[in-house]
Chains A and B, each alone.
Chain A
Amino acid sequence: MSTNGLIGRAVKRVEDKRFITGHGNYTDDIILPHQTYAVFVRSQYAHAKILSVDTSAAKEMPGVIAIYTGADLANTNGVPCGWQVNFKNGDTMKEPKHPLLVADKARHVGDAIAIVIAETKEQATDAAEAVTVEMEELPCVIDAAKAVQPGAPLVHDDVPNNKSFDWTLGNPIEEVNAAMDQAAHVTTLEFVNQRLVPNAIEPRSYNSSYDPVSEKYTLYTSSQNPHLIRLLMCAFVLGIPEHKVRVISPDVGGGFGSKIFHYTEEALLTWCSKQIGRPVKWTSERTESFLLDAHGRDHVTKAEMGFDAEGKIVALRVKTYANLGAYLSTFSSCVPTYLHGTLLQGLYTTPKINVDVTAVFTNTTPVDAYRGAGRPEATYLLERLLDLAALEMKADPAELRFKNFIPPFDGVQQPGYQTQVALQYDSGNYEGVLKKGLEMLGYADVRRQQQEAANNGKLVGVGFSTYIEACGIAPSAIVGALGCRAGLFESGHVRVQPTGKVSVYTGAHSHGQGHETTFAQVVADKLGINLDDVEIVHGDSDSVAFGMGTYGSRSLAVGGSAIIKSIEKIIEKGKKIAAHKLEASADDIEFASGRFTVKGTDKSVGFGEVALTAYVPHVYPKDLEPGLDFSSFYDPANFTYPFGCHIAVVEVDKETGKVSIKRFVAVDDVGNVINPMIVEGQIHGGVVQGIGQALFEGAEYDENGQLTNASYMDYCMPRADDLPMFETASQVTPCPHNPLGVKGAGEAGTIGSAPAIVNAVIDALWSGGHQVKDIRMPLTSERVWNAMNS
């Protein structure tokens, strides 16, 4: 196929103009005619019986239109979980109801007890304060490992030991134990991968309306996947007809996973809009976001890695308790299992691996996918073990990795790599990224500087992380076999207008990723037309056929491939039209640089003319339909497997324990790159979210289940002055199984960066004689200081 060189170019983003001039259109910017506003009455307790809810006084307040409680929704379903995981013994996971409003008891702080709808938000707020709720506080459980102990309070009365499921993957445990027993050295790490709050800067917002004449609902939602929300809400929660529901996700201000899930408020507002016959809007306040947007991570893990005398890894054994929070959020069950356990091969030839996961309910905010989702947890575990093992065995961490890397394979000449944990990697050159990283760093110099610093009483450390992830989610047949209750294909519809301009409808959703630019680059390149002649449409279930949305770094690998399929159909049909015009056989027509040409001649016709002919078919092949408009669905053959190498150099202040990042080198291989500027931007942002986990962030619950840092004043996120400029580079190992050869770049940075930072801090401490194995993230000055001085 032809190209005009748009693929691979750092084209400036077409969507920027509206954002830099203040003309973005986010859900909270929308006010509909006869708009009403909702405010929730929420539980202040982590675990409490609801004795009574009295709304009588509130109903009399000015402007109040309606108040609903759990009793009004007794016959309505809860929001579903989209992935079924089975117990080791084959039993189905425990999947208690997640109601839209709780009637019996609250299971985490923020659980919704009543919704108050009024003419203004202020009136709704006043009335919500007048709702009287009598509650009886119950003992609560916060920690996943404690929740499974006998006698722990039960979050759901019908879920024994708070266990949603237990799960294992890999080689039989006996084989792993035997290999571990034979190991010359075993490195053990027991650690917490702490709970994070995603914190997209745009709070979640919904605005739902109902038209009694057409009997049609319209929901504006700050979602990463509007069609998925429509499907779940119609089919599983409200039982309303899908063709009578339009879901629109306009501009969305960041998601990072937290806006994938179908939240109770979406369905409840939609239900309410019909009850009152007016549009209902709710926008989360920041503290509500902290209490309700699904959190990420929260694993308690013991991991052991065995090495032979030469430093080759011989076995890996992992036991994890995953905290699910109070309810199963949409994809929560697959995160600690199929997105975590399956990544424990890492980049290494480890022959024996076993992972065991127990997933537990607690009286906390539900936990689900947050940027990386399971893969950062897997990478953190592996990469911490490797750097620690190098320290313990007095080996060089880079050398130790070279010794254990899977050798390069392109997935075409050499087959994909079959792991011990169910996946088959597509293509990889793992030593390549580390070599490049070491060169960029000037490794020998940095180690020399570290030694000099140590001689001068300063603590400098170098930390490595060589990661892999599985994204481009996902082949439907494979995820279906693993319990996913949805297909994970994508749709791509290309409509050539009569004048040759092109509208593209994609089921992917951009909330910062820049699809309006990258997808347009792909289409313009393949059709040989100007970028300006392509418009990307997304986020509206009435204009886009279907879509699974954007998460798991899937948009280009899956959504882009669907568009390519439609483009191929357009060129195929275009050839027939051109052949008829040029009085040649379609087989003799070539398409290049926007022109259809008879092979070996100068007879040609332009793309625009062919488009016009398709819609004005006066002189036209007999058996061909008019029009030039194709829709395709693409279901990937495999996951894609980006990988990379992140290296951090830090200095630890001896007096205060403060960590400063001196350098951060990232070499990422995300396959072919459509727009290097956008990919680099994704890496920067991803890296900083990983740095945030390593040094700053963490949800802190007190023993009563109160989230004690539920505001931006209390929850520490990276700010501009906490960070250095980054040194980034890319390597390209194309994906062998999708037409663009792309792998995905959205999560890579977050997956790779956190262990590099923590490893660097640990290395710095060892350089000063403090042989510390682990410091609990985030590595605040206080924790680092305590680790040095204990």
Chain B
Amino acid sequence: MNTRIQVTVNGVQYSHMVEPRLLLVHYLRDVLRLTGTHVGCDTSSCGACTIHVNGKATKCCTMLAVQANGCQITTIEGLSHNGDLHPLQEGFKECHGLQCGFCTPGMIMTAADLLQHNPQPTENDIRHALEGNFCRCTGYHNIVKSVLYAAEKLKEHAVVH
């Protein structure tokens, strides 16, 4: 009855037998113990569970683990490289874009997807891109500033290299 899945999460390959009804978010949290991805609802409404599946922002509370078979997954734990924070992680800290931190991983992963295809977003672009992620603490003001900060940082980075 259980099915074998093979996934690459944050660059590491895993192979597990899973129940067909196991949600991807619970696979990440309970099996791989990557608990940075959070569950805030069960209706894909809050975005706290947002990760990247094959490079695209995906709410993994409504995706089955078996659907991720063969996929490349990035979670918040895999966003920084060699100890350097991703510009978004830096932006959230610099601009006070988080308070309780519960929505933050999902918020950052959604914003990272935005910056991949729209590296210089306007305030409105950012607000529109983040409308699938709830934050109950910040009022979004500083989250918008955090993403603008990261976009600016990425631009500087692009100029340097």
Using a CB–CB cutoff of 8 Å, the interface residues on chain A facing chain B are 12-13, 15-26, 28-29, 31, 122, 199-203, 251-254, 256, 283, 285-287, 511-514, 677-678, 680-682, 684-689, 711-713, 717-721, 723, 725-726, 749
Contacts and interface: CB of A to CB of B under 8 A. Distances in A.
B99 A681 contact: yes
B140 A254 contact: no
B21 interface: yes
Contacts of B141: 684, 723, 725-726
B102 A22 contact: no
B49 to A, nearest CB: 11
Given A201-B135, A677-B96, A725-B123, A21 B45 contact: no
B130 A720 contact: yes
A685 B89 contact: no
Interface in B87-125: 89, 92-94, 96, 98-105, 108, 123-124
Contacts of A12: 93-94, 96
Contacts of A15: 101
A719 B45 CA distance: 11
B142 A681 contact: yes
B133 to A, nearest CB: 7
B99 A685 contact: yes
A201 B45 CA distance: 11
Interface stretch (B1-9, B35-43, B64-72, B151-159): B35-43
B48 interface: yes
Contact of B98 (A16, A31, A122, A283): A16
B46 interface: yes
B137 interface: yes
A685 B139 contact: yes
A253 B100 contact: yes
Nearest to B35: A29
Interface in B28-80: 29-30, 33-43, 45-46, 48, 75-77, 79-80
A202 B40 contact: yes
Contacts of B132: 719
B140 A723 contact: yes
Nearest to A198: B136
A685 B93 CA distance: 16
A290 to B, nearest CB: 10
Given A201-B46, A721-B127, A22 B137 contact: no
A329 to B, nearest CB: 20
B139 A20 contact: no
Given A21-B77, A22-B76, A202 B93 contact: no
B96 A22 contact: no
A681 B138 contact: yes
A720 B36 contact: no
Nearest to A724: B141
A287 B131 CA distance: 21
Nearest to B90: A20
B90 to A, nearest CB: 8
B80 A254 contact: no
B42 A286 contact: yes
A749 B127 CA distance: 21
Contacts of B98: 16, 19-20
A159 B137 CA distance: 39
A252 B100 contact: yes
Given A20-B104, A712-B45, A513 B38 contact: no
Contact of A717 (B92, B101, B136): B136
A725 B144 contact: yes
The 6 A-B pairs at the shortest CB distance, nearest first, are namely: A22-B36, A253-B102, A19-B101, A712-B45, A512-B100, A512-B99
Contact of B100 (A254, A712, A723): A254
A721 B41 CA distance: 20
Contact of A31 (B30, B96, B102, B105): B30
A225 B143 CA distance: 28
Contacts of A25: 35
B46 to A, nearest CB: 6
Contact of A684 (B41, B94, B130, B139): B139
A12 B92 CA distance: 10
Contacts of B140: 684, 688, 718-720, 723
B99 A513 contact: yes
A712 B136 contact: no
B126 interface: yes
A24 B38 CA distance: 10
A687 to B, nearest CB: 6
A286 B41 contact: yes
